[in-house]
Structure 1
Amino acid sequence: MAQDDAVIGCTGVLLIGTRGAAGPGEVLVRIRGGTEAFLAWSAEPLPVGATVLVIESRGNRQVDVMEWADPLDALPGDAGDAG
């Protein structure tokens, strides 16, 4: 199956934790106006519930992921707090 470039750059949540080189987990990715499940591979083990970023498609509904924290979540309170 061909690589699915549309999934690269999408975020998702791990339904089954990854085991690094020992094997994949499963990720639910927000894509194409809904959610789709993919086998998820990562360099390091990641736990169930981790938010991840898809960094590569392996085709056959398999992706490479890395742990992801939205940088906008780290911003201090709203602009309305300044004053």
Structure 2
Amino acid sequence: MKIRYDNEIDAIYFDLKDIPSYDSDEIKDGVIVDYDKEDNIVGIEVLDFKNKVLLGLTIDDLPFPEQDKLTASQYFNFPVTA
């Protein structure tokens, strides 16, 4: 899994498979899931990421395969600054 975070727009992309996406679906506001031709999840993008985490978004709210949850979960634990 590759993870890219853009601090300027506060967006994170979890690239689960190294293959191009064929289709996308916004499963909730600002959460986009990319699929391959066989409808397997190949990526997950979260816009306004830090704010969503502060409001309660967790790793369990996203359709991560079990083998990727531990790696992805570390990005949901950042220090909160006032």
Q: Identify whether the pair has TM-score above 0.5, normalized to the shorter chain.
A: no
Structure with the bigger percentage of helix: 2
Structure with the bigger percentage of strand: 1
TM-score bracket, normalised by the shorter chain, equals under 0.3
Normalising by structure 1, we get a TM-score of: 0.25
Normalising by structure 2, we get a TM-score of: 0.25
Higher alpha-carbon Rg = 1
Higher relative CO (Cα under 8 Å, sequence separation at least 6) belongs to: 1
